[in-house]
């Protein structure tokens, strides 16, 4: 199997700021991925979510877990496929939100592959804050769509 380093995986992500939620990819192998993101207080969604008490929206937390835990792992799993095979798109998510993520917090996302078959990748994902507390966890699935 062809080797693919972490920077190469990260540069293959189909996102750009302000919708790129991967600062550092720390580990990816056949069954797991780990990465980090810091929610800078200047991110636009904090201006209105919530009034006077900014909290990171759950949909953004879910997207962060999907980018690190599903898309980065998926890029790695497809490393030996022909170029432009397709992109991963989220098909389902079931996430429990346990603690708020505030502006300025750095989170770590880790995922474990549940299965990868028929072009669908399902992962168990969790997000931890800097105190190692789980802030959200669940399962996220993505599917390859042709480019």
Q: Is the dihedral of CA 142, 20, 69, 64 positive or negative?
A: negative
CB-based burial label for 75 (10 Å; 0-12, 13-18, 19+)? buried
Q: Is 49 a catalytic residue?
A: yes
| Catalytic site residue from 4, 6, 49, 114 | 49
Sheet of strand 134-145: strand arrangement: 24-28, 32-38, 106-117, 120-128, 134-145, 87-97
End-to-end CA distance of the chain: 24
Catalytic residues: 49
């Amino acid at each position: 199997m062809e080797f693919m380093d972490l920077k190469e995986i990260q540069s293959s992500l189909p996102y750009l700021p302000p919708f790129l939620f991967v600062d550092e990819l720390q580990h990816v192998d056949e069954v797991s991925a780990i990465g980090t993101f810091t929610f800078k207080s200047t991110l636009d969604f904090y201006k209105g979510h919530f009034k006077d008490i900014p909290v990171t929206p759950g949909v953004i937390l879910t997207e962060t877990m999907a980018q690190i835990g599903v898309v980065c792992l998926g890029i790695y799993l497809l490393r030996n496929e022909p170029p432009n095979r397709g992109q991963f798109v989220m098909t389902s998510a079931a996430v429990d939100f346990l603690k708020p993520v505030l502006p300025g917090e750095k989170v770590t996302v880790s995922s474990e592959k549940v299965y990868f078959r028929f072009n669908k990748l399902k992962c168990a994902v969790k997000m931890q804050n800097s105190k190692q507390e789980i802030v959200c966890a669940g399962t996220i699935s993505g599917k390859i769509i042709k480019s």
